[in-house]
Amino acid sequence: MTRIISFIFISLLFLKFYNVNGQDSEMKFGFYLDTYYAYDFSKPTENQRLYVTQHDQHNAFQLNHGIIKGAYDGERVRGSLALQTGTYPANNYSAEPDKLYQMIYEGYAGVKVGKKGWVDVGIFGGHFGYESALAMDRALYSPALATEYTPYYQSGVRYTQPLSENTEIRAVVLNGWQNIGETNNNKAVGLAIDHRFGEQFMVSYGNYYGKENDGDSAVNRFHNNFLIELAPVNKLKIVAIADYTRQEVPNASDHHTTTFLTGIISYEVIDRWSLAGRYEYVVDQNALLLPAHVGEFIMNIASLTVSHQLNDAANFKLEGKLYRGPYDNFVGENGVGDATIVVSTGLMIKLGAL
Characterize the bridge pairing of strands 60-73 and 77-85: antiparallel
So where are the chain's domains?
A: 2-352
Q: Residue 333 class from Cβ within 10 Å (0-12 exposed, 13-18 middle, 19+ buried)?
A: exposed
Of 13-17, 145-149, 198-202, 296-300, least confident by mean pLDDT is 13-17
- pLDDT bucket at 334, cuts 50 / 70 / 90: confident
Contact 202, 194 (CB under 8 A): yes
Contacts of 46 (CB under 8 A, 6+ apart): none
Burial 270-308 (b: 16+ CB within 10 A, else e): eeeebebebebebbbeeebbbebeeebbbbebebebbbe
User: Cα–Cα distance between 292 and 132 in angstroms, integer?
Assistant: 25
Contact 64, 57 (CB under 8 A): no
Rg of the chain's alpha carbons, rounded to an integer? 20
User: Cα–Cα distance between 21 and 190 in angstroms, integer?
Assistant: 37
Residue 295 has pLDDT above 90, yes or no: no
* Prediction pTM value: 0.91
- pLDDT bucket at 14, cuts 50 / 70 / 90: low
Residue 101 has pLDDT above 90, yes or no: no
Contacts of 150 (CB under 8 A, 6+ apart): 126, 128, 129, 178, 223, 225, 243
Of 94-98, 104-108, 136-140, 157-161, least confident by mean pLDDT is 94-98
* The CATH classification of domain 2-352, taken from the options 3.40.50.2300, 3.30.530.20, 3.40.50.300, 2.40.160.10: 2.40.160.10
Give the model's pLDDT for residue 263.
Answer: 99
Find, among 85, 65, 76, 93, the residue nearest to 9 by Cα.
Answer: 85
Instruction: Compare 22 and 256 and report the one with higher pLDDT.
Output: 256
What's the half-sphere exposure (Cβ side, CA atoms, 13 Å) at 11? 16
User: Cα–Cα distance between 70 and 135 in angstroms, integer?
Assistant: 20
C-alpha distances out from residue 275 to 137, 237, 352, Å: 14, 11, 26
User: Cα–Cα distance between 158 and 175 in angstroms, integer?
Assistant: 12
Give the model's pLDDT for residue 157.
Answer: 98
Residue 285 has pLDDT above 80, yes or no: yes
Summarize pLDDT for 229-241 with one digit per residue, the tens.
999 999 999 999 9
C-alpha distances out from residue 213 to 110, 174, 178, 266, Å: 29, 14, 13, 39
- pLDDT bucket at 13, cuts 50 / 70 / 90: low
Residue 19 has pLDDT above 60, yes or no: no
Residue 117 phi/psi, 5-degree rounding, is -80, 155
Summarize pLDDT for 198-208 with one digit per residue, the tens.
989 999 999 99
Instruction: Compare 213 and 174 and report the one with higher pLDDT.
Output: 174
- pLDDT bucket at 335, cuts 50 / 70 / 90: confident
Contact 227, 238 (CB under 8 A): no
User: Cα–Cα distance between 195 and 164 in angstroms, integer?
Assistant: 9
